[in-house]
Amino acid sequence: MPDNNGNPIAIHELALAYGNHRVLDGLSLTVPASSITALLGGNGAGKSTTLSALLGFVRADAGQIAVCGIDPGTDADAARRRIAYLPENVALYEHLSAVENADYLLALADQRQDRGTITAALAAAGLQNRAWDQRLGGFSKGMRQKVAIAVALLREVPVLLLDEPTSGLDPRATADFNALLLKVRDRGTAVLMVTHDLLSAADVADRIAFLEQGRIVEDVTATGSERFDIRALHARFQVGVGTRAA
Ligand SMILES: Nc1ncnc2c1ncn2[C@@H]1O[C@H](COP(=O)(O)OP(=O)(O)OP(=O)(O)O)[C@@H](O)[C@H]1O
């Protein structure tokens, strides 16, 4: 079993290639419980691939990767049971209502809850009562994110993976989403968020890691009440984007 030092997400010297294209090359990253790490990097830097490796969709060529001590490369099902994953375009069922979506997705995860618990989670996620029994067909992206995060809340898993969660959300919906994310973190969840949204990352993350040429090249932590220096981060991010290999 990989050594994770108690960290729900532990990646050490990971290498991964698609054919001859080396995407991850010595990637090391840990995400402790009750914390949010934002993973930034240029297009093609390997951010989504990192999430795919944690979910066991792709296997590493070298290095170690662990979700709550489980190697997703050898036991993807066990790793996935500990993960809630929000892809960039949340896959929900258009013809089902918000409550029905939650009910169905929880049943698939073998974690059924009663209606009262589901509606309480939808309310906690900020979805208005009148939307609970409406079909998703007419929902905005922000409303869909709320349904998805409610399901993540209900699953009570130790790890939450997010791929570009705020892309396409307006500032108000982004602020709501970030507030919700802090609630999830404060319940003890380890959150890894892939994003291009530096402002949102700086608002919500405890740590911002920059991925470049397949490895973390810089890792900035917010200390105490000190938040991040957006200008410095922005300058750093521009340099990273300008020098990427992919
Ligand atoms: N299934 C695959 N087969 C082959 N190459 C792939 C596959 N998935 C991703 N890649 C390539 O691996 C590299 C990293 O892709 P990845 O999606 O992880 O980057 P990313 O950092 O998430 O980028 P973006 O910010 O554009 O979403 C890219 O060059 C991409 O084309």
Q: Does ligand 1 lie within 6 Å of residue 46's CB atom?
A: yes
Residue whose CA lies nearest to ligand 1 atom number 25: 43
Do 118 and 238 lie in a common domain? no
Structural domain total, the chain: 2
Q: Which residue has the higher pLDDT, 49 or 233?
A: 49
Which structural domain, as residue segments, surrounds residue 60?
1-82+159-246
Q: For residues 81 and 157, is the Cβ–Cβ distance under 8 A?
A: yes
Question: What share of the chain in percent tops pLDDT 70?
Answer: 93
Do 171 and 210 lie in a common domain? yes
- Picking from 121, 156, 191, the residue at the C-terminal end of a domain is 156
Do 145 and 209 lie in a common domain? no
Do 117 and 174 lie in a common domain? no
Do 105 and 219 lie in a common domain? no
Do 1 and 75 lie in a common domain? yes
Least confident of 60-64, 123-127, 161-165, 184-188: 123-127
pTM: 0.88
pLDDT of residue 110: 86
**CB neighbours of 239 closer than 8 A, spacing ≥ 6?**
none
Do 163 and 151 lie in a common domain? no
Q: Does ligand 1 lie within 6 Å of residue 49's CB atom?
A: yes
Question: What share of the chain in percent tops pLDDT 90?
Answer: 57
pLDDT per residue as tens digits for the range 39-97: 999 889 999 999 999 999 999 999 999 999 999 999 999 999 999 998 887 789 999 99
Do 4 and 64 lie in a common domain? yes
- Please give the Cα distance from 230 to 125 (Å, whole number): 28
pLDDT of residue 245: 41
DSSP collapsed to 3 states, 130-179: HHCCCEHHHCCHHHHHHHHHHHHHHHCCCEEEEECCCCCCCHHHHHHHHH
- Picking from 109, 127, 156, the residue at the C-terminal end of a domain is 156
Q: How far is the CA of 21 from the centre of ligand 1 (A)?
A: 10
Q: Does ligand 1 lie within 6 Å of residue 20's CB atom?
A: no
Q: Which residue has the higher pLDDT, 116 or 125?
A: 116
Q: Does ligand 1 lie within 6 Å of residue 41's CB atom?
A: yes
- Picking from 156, 172, 198, the residue at the C-terminal end of a domain is 156
Tokens of 184: 């999830």
Alpha-carbon torsion (34, 128, 83, 108), positive or negative: positive
| Residue 190, pLDDT above cutoff 50 | yes
Best of 47, 54, 194 to mutate for ligand 1, by most ligand atoms within 8 A of CB?
Answer: 47
Do 78 and 168 lie in a common domain? yes
Do 6 and 68 lie in a common domain? yes
